[in-house]
Amino acid sequence: MKYIWLIASIALGAAGQVLMKWGIESLKTGDASAAIGAKLLTAWPVVAGLASYGLSSVFWLLALRRFPLSTAYPMVSLSYILVMVLSFYLFQETISIQKWAGAVVICAGVLLIARS
């Protein structure tokens, strides 16, 4: 059960990032900064992203009750990889060989930490 809290925290954090990106991209680039600020507060993807972050924090607290911080915190780096992959599929962002290599290094590091 403790892994569910950790995985939920990571997944919701990544979802929050993707939703906020989607929300900001939906705004017109010619808008004045004050108008953008007002629209951000009403853009549902941004609001959903912030809510996702909030819920992620709740799951993070539950995970911290069951994991040492020195083990749990490095696991959050898996969200970087999740966001990278989602960005590729949802926003057609390119992923270079260097980014993939970095993702492999992150996964290897998380695996080493998880096994110790």
The DSSP annotation for the chain comes to -HHHHHHHHHHHHHHHHHHHHHHHHTS-TTS-HHHHHHHHHH-HHHHHHHHHHHHHHHHHHHHHTTS-HHHHHHHTTHHHHHHHHHHHHHH-----HHHHHHHHHHHHHHHHHHH-
Q: What pLDDT is recorded for position 54?
A: 95
Neighbours of 60 (CB within 10 A): 19
pLDDT, averaged across the chain: 89
pLDDT, tens digit (0-9, with 9 covering 90-100), for 21-60: 998 888 766 655 656 667 777 789 999 999 999 999 999 9
> pTM of this prediction?
0.85
pLDDT, tens digit (0-9, with 9 covering 90-100), for 74-112: 999 999 999 999 999 999 999 999 999 999 999 999 999
Q: What pLDDT is recorded for position 42?
A: 78
